[in-house]
Amino acid sequence: MNENPADLAPELCVLAAAVAGLMAGMFLPRRRQWPVPAVCSAGLVAGLAFAGAAATRPGLMAFDAFSVDAITHVTRITVLGSTLAVVLLAAGRVRGHPRESEHHVLILLSALGTIMLGTSSDLLVLVAAYLLASIPAYALAGFGKDAPGTEAALKYYLMGALLGVLMLGGVTLLSGVGRGTAYPVLRAGLAGAPPAAVAAGLVALLAGLLFKAGAAPGHYWVPDVTEGAPPAVAAFVTTVPKIGAFAALYRFGAETSPDGWAALLAVVAAATMTLGNLAAFGQDNVRRLLAYSTVSQAGYLLVPVAMAGRTDLARPALLYFVAAYAVTNLGAFAVVVAAGRDDLAGYAGLLRASPLLGLSLVVCLLGFVGTPPTAVFVGKVLMFGAALDGDHAWLAVVAAVNTVASVFYYLRWIVPLFRRPAGPPRRARGATALAAAAALLSLALGIAAGAALAA
Amino acid sequence: MLNLVILLPLAVALALPAVPRRAVPWTWIAVSLVDLALVIGMWAAHGTGGGIAYETDVRWIPSVRAGYHVGVDGLSLPLLALTAALFAACAVYSLRQTHRVRGFAILFLFLETVCLGLFAALDLLLFFVFFDLSIVGMYFVILLWGHGDRTRSALVFFLYTFLGSLVLLLGFIGLYLGADPHTFDMVELTRTPPLSGGPAGLTLLAVGIGLGIKTPVVPFHTWLPPAHTDAPAAGSAILAGVMLKMGTYGLIRIAMPMLPDAWRHYALVFLIVGLVGVLYGALVALAQDDLKRLVAYTSVNHMGYIVLALGAAGYATGDADARRLAVTGAVTQMVSHGLVTGALFLLCGVLYDRAGGYDLGRFGGIARGAPVFAALAAVAAFASLGLPGLSGFVAEFQILAGTIGSGTAATAVTGALAVLGILVTAALFLRVLHRAVLGPPGELTPLVTDVRRPELAALVPLLALSLVIGVAPRFLLDTIEPLSAAVVALVGRR
């Protein structure tokens, strides 16, 4: 039994920063809330430092419910890094907003829930983490208090509540037939349980996690929230909660290995990537296009999840792909924030008007396709390898065909970049720098994949 | 030295934004000539010895045992030299270009690194990286500097060849998973072929389709005519001269040595696919009125000979000497096709530059106003149809002699039928010369002025090399022969 709170230092840093930010926000004058994002960023940086240090130590289990292992390390670092990027992206936009401090605190709390999703080895903690990750995000989606934002928040909330209740039912069923909620107990318990009950519980549990992951059939909120919420929030909800959801899915699959896991998840993966790609074809709004692109990427990410426990390649594939996806997606959203345009036509001539921004977008979009030497390329190679090694060659072929199909809509966004500029460029230094950093990181992760995988 | 050869163009491409605008073309030419000189130096130092030289092996992704592993041998060297020569020719040819020169030069230097890297790669993942990047580079060349319906052509090119590359990747992963321990290293995979039986057949199917789309073999060639027609002249020359070789190079370098059982088992498929490519390419080219499409379809024909020869080399029951001859011919054909087709596309570019069209029916009697152009076109056409004394003859003679001579009924029949392809090619090139170069004046003929100095400087070396290979092929064949002996031995393993 290990109950040392220091093992959860990164999570505590985020919590402390959130609480400090909330307190500071209550006492600071409305117009001068800049210390709040500073406190939040400091908390995230401290969390990153602790997480990095923890990654060098051997794995352990804390409070019988939190696994501190490779999955946790990658989840922590990716979530903290992505959240930091989102806070920086949002800082300029919400400066002086009446609810500025609330904005940052909600982001931090949702990130905290996401990390817990990825670390929990117990169904009850999983449910608590799900709620913590979701509820702040509902509020964030409607942060703008405008019509599209309200609709997005409502849709997000209703969908999340419905699938969350389903998930709770699934947890009840699984813990009932499995005689426990901790994964090691469930592994033994589920093996002897009635298959029909296990299957029903599994499907219900998946409903909630697939909603968080933005995968079919829980993906209906993705385009509306991405389009309706403020851009920085859209970047957050399409990136960060997914990281935790995929980690949770993988951990559950690998540690309890229920019957039929691979078959069920493989079908969901194939359906998700195909649906996302088909829906992205006709989009003229870049945020909706990115939304459907995240759905299709979720499909690829589900491939290693389906192969959990079947091949040694599944875990590196998932972890690498998740990090690569987060970097690439944040880069693309940073470009959207910097350019300040949502229609495809608004990107005409971007490469001439702002070469750095245009080049970053090209790198990120080609990265989504999986062009070497970007990070997603390595993730995709590992993903294909996992599918073939796990005896799901058909899934690898479906993923390959989907990748080719996805090229079409990413290129639809790239082509206008080379046209003549329509007007003078907007100045958005912070977001531009972030986009360039993400593009560089994507290339670096691709080229230095060896070092990243070894860690 | 090999790393310098590969990375020099990329390094200069990265530095090019800082170069003054007027110096850009000259920098580009200088770099490509330096690179060509370095490749020739490597070839001279390597000589005709077998084995791999200038090897570098750096860990890249150790957890899947993939590395930056490059080296050269008798198969790589001629192709590296061809690549460097064609890129140098394109640099010289583009001296007069005015539209976005800097971007054009950067993209071509990037492509040069990619192509050189591919022919030197000894790691499957590295090979795939270069393979994929070549598609991205060429997509932007067609999209930004092409003409006609370039957006569509570029998109078709990207989607089609990208699908091929992903199928190829699945095949590579199949090889990786079959090896014990898992590895992407080509040298190790060649030493111990990883798969046999059904999985080997499926892997060969994936690798064959992936490389076949790039080659291209019938029926996967449909991306090629629009891409070639709408690309700029230098882009077409690189696409046909260098990038089509990536497919056949992969067949010799990867498919044959790493999947010998499957290759022998399905050799007949490659024979037939090659024969269909030869005949179909020639016949469709005969029916074209658009000069550039015609040249594009002759590429299908010429690449068909290579596939045919490699299929014949898989017939283990055949005569080993003849099979070696076929492989040597195939590699010679790669070099020859690169030089000649590169020159033909640059000549098409001259016509488009002057008259803005490729329609054969609207040209005629060009020889009167542009004698030098006419002479160059005639030499290129004769080289392409395989006239003795030029490189095409050396290559095709060896391919056909090797195929027919390996002595089994299937190779003899397909080889004999493939001879018909030469006849059709001869007919179609004579028809081109007859209609466009000689004959009565056409409506666009007055616009055609003779070749300018940069164009001449780009074209003459390519055709001169073809002539050198045709007259004194010994230096090339001596380099290739140890390699073809090794490939035939590898594919004959049980």
Q: What is the pLDDT of residue B466?
A: 94
Q: What is the pLDDT of residue B451?
A: 87
Nearest to A240 by CA among A153, A143, A115, A375: A115
Q: What is the pLDDT of residue A61?
A: 82
A415 contacts B177? CB cut-off 8 A: no
Instruction: Show residues of chain B in contact with A397, CB under 8 Å.
Output: 170
The mean per-residue pLDDT over the stretch B199-206 comes to 92
pLDDT at residue B485 tops 70: yes
Angle at A359 between CA A357 and CA A365, to 5 degrees: 100
pLDDT at residue B449 tops 90: no
Give how far B67 is from chain A: nearest CA, Å.
9
Rounded to whole angstroms, how far apart are CA atoms B357 and B293? 12
Q: Which of B141, B170, B209 to probe the A interface (max A CBs under 10 A)?
A: B170
pLDDT category at A78 given cuts 50, 70, 90 is very high
pLDDT at residue B253 tops 90: yes
For tokens 């909620």, the residue is: A181
Q: What is the pLDDT of residue A217?
A: 86
A281 touches chain B (CB under 8 A): no
B154: tokens are 């570029």
pLDDT at residue B30 tops 60: yes
The mean per-residue pLDDT over the stretch B333-356 comes to 92
Rounded to whole angstroms, how far apart are CA atoms A190 and A180? 10
pLDDT at residue B115 tops 80: yes
Return the minimum-mean-pLDDT range out of A355-359, A394-398, B236-240: A355-359
pLDDT category at A425 given cuts 50, 70, 90 is low
The mean per-residue pLDDT over the stretch A246-258 comes to 91
A419 touches chain B (CB under 8 A): no
B60 touches chain A (CB under 8 A): yes
In single-letter form, the type of residue at position A399 comes to: A
Q: What is the pLDDT of residue A288?
A: 93
Q: What is the pLDDT of residue A30?
A: 78
Classify A75 in phi/psi space as left (phi over 0), alpha (psi -120 to 50) or beta: alpha
Give how far B90 is from chain A: nearest CA, Å.
23
A418 contacts B144? CB cut-off 8 A: yes
A453 touches chain B (CB under 8 A): yes
A388 contacts B61? CB cut-off 8 A: no
Q: What is the pLDDT of residue B343?
A: 95
Rounded to whole angstroms, how far apart are CA atoms A294 and A7? 32
Rounded to whole angstroms, how far apart are CA atoms B456 and B450? 10
B61 contacts A450? CB cut-off 8 A: yes
Q: Do B107 and B154 contact (CB within 8 A), yes or no? A: no
Nearest to A236 by CA among A139, A314, A101: A139
pLDDT at residue A427 tops 80: no
Rounded to whole angstroms, how far apart are CA atoms B444 and B166? 44
Q: Which of A381, A397, A411, A445 to probe the B interface (max B CBs under 10 A)?
A: A381
Rounded to whole angstroms, how far apart are CA atoms A395 and A403? 12
pLDDT at residue A127 tops 90: yes
**Nearest CB partner across the interface for B170, out of A316, A372, A397:** A397
**Nearest CB partner across the interface for B133, out of A313, A372, A397:** A372
Give how far A377 is from chain B: nearest CA, Å.
9
Identify whether A372 is preceded by a cis peptide bond (ω within 30 of 0).
Answer: no
Q: What is the pLDDT of residue B439?
A: 81
B128 touches chain A (CB under 8 A): yes
B191 touches chain A (CB under 8 A): no
Beta strands (DSSP E) in A88-184 are none
Query: How does pLDDT run across B134-147, given as a tens digit for each residue?
Result: 999 999 999 999 98
A250 touches chain B (CB under 8 A): no
In single-letter form, the type of residue at position B87 comes to: F
Q: Do B80 and B119 contact (CB within 8 A), yes or no? A: yes
Give how far B162 is from chain A: nearest CA, Å.
7
B136 contacts A454? CB cut-off 8 A: no
Rounded to whole angstroms, how far apart are CA atoms B292 and B309? 26
**Exposure of B227 in the CB half-sphere (CA atoms within 13 A):** 29
For tokens 């790493």, the residue is: B258
Angle at A189 between CA A188 and CA A195, to 5 degrees: 115
B11 touches chain A (CB under 8 A): no
Instruction: Show residues of chain A in contact with B158, CB under 8 Å.
Output: 407, 411
The mean per-residue pLDDT over the stretch B176-189 comes to 89
The mean per-residue pLDDT over the stretch A277-304 comes to 93
Rounded to whole angstroms, how far apart are CA atoms B236 and A416? 24
**Residue B290: strand pairing partners:** B359
Nearest to A251 by CA among A198, A196, A205, A201: A205
Q: Do B253 and B186 contact (CB within 8 A), yes or no? A: yes
A9: tokens are 């230092």
Question: SS3 of A285, please?
Answer: strand
**Cβ contacts from A onto B, under 8 A:** 74
pLDDT at residue B474 tops 80: yes
Burial A37-57 (b: 16+ CB within 10 A, else e): bbbbbbbbebbbebbeebbee
Domain boundaries, given as residue ranges, for chain A: 260-454
The alpha carbon dihedral of A349, A352, A354, A359 has a sign of positive
User: Which 8-state DSSP code applies to residue A122?
Assistant: B
Helices (H), B76-181: 76-93, 101-120, 124-145, 150-178
Rounded mean pLDDT of chain A? Answer: 90
The DSSP line for B392-452 is HHHHHHHHHHHHHHT--HHHHHHHHHHHHHHHHHHHHHHHHIIIIISSS--TTGGG-PPPP
- Is residue B412 packed enough to be buried (19+ CB in 10 Å), middle (13-18) or exposed (0-12)? middle
**Exposure of A130 in the CB half-sphere (CA atoms within 13 A):** 30
A162 touches chain B (CB under 8 A): no
Instruction: Show residues of chain A in contact with B125, CB under 8 Å.
Output: 381
B470 sits in which H/E element: helix B453-471
Q: What is the pLDDT of residue A452?
A: 65
Instruction: Show residues of chain B in contact with A373, CB under 8 Å.
Output: 129, 133
Q: What is the pLDDT of residue A153?
A: 93
Q: Which of B153, B173, B184, B213 to probe the A interface (max A CBs under 10 A)?
A: B173
ipTM: 0.86
Strands A60-62 and B66-72: unpaired
Instruction: Show residues of chain A in contact with B132, CB under 8 Å.
Output: 371-372, 377
B162 contacts A404? CB cut-off 8 A: yes
Q: What is the pLDDT of residue A448?
A: 77
pLDDT category at A94 given cuts 50, 70, 90 is confident
**Residue B57: strand pairing partners:** B69
Q: What is the pLDDT of residue A352?
A: 84
Q: What percent of chain A has pLDDT over 70?
A: 97
The alpha carbon dihedral of B198, B202, B204, B205 has a sign of positive
B177 touches chain A (CB under 8 A): yes
Give how far A76 is from chain B: nearest CA, Å.
22
Rounded to whole angstroms, how far apart are CA atoms B165 and B304? 20
A407 contacts B159? CB cut-off 8 A: yes
Instruction: Show residues of chain B in contact with A396, CB under 8 Å.
Output: 170, 173
Query: How does pLDDT run across B416-440, given as a tens digit for each residue?
Result: 999 999 999 999 999 988 888 888 8
Q: What percent of chain B has pLDDT over 70?
A: 100
Q: What is the pLDDT of residue B199?
A: 87
Q: How many Cβ atoms sit within 10 Å of the Cβ of residue B232?
A: 23
Rounded to whole angstroms, how far apart are CA atoms A247 and A73? 11
Q: Which of A401, A411, A419, A447 to probe the B interface (max B CBs under 10 A)?
A: A411
A388 contacts B173? CB cut-off 8 A: yes
Q: What is the pLDDT of residue A453?
A: 66
pLDDT at residue A1 tops 60: no
Nearest to A43 by CA among A69, A15, A17, A11: A17
A404 contacts B163? CB cut-off 8 A: yes
A128 touches chain B (CB under 8 A): no
Residue numbers of A between 302 and 341 with CB closer than 8 Å to B: 313, 316
pLDDT at residue A152 tops 70: yes
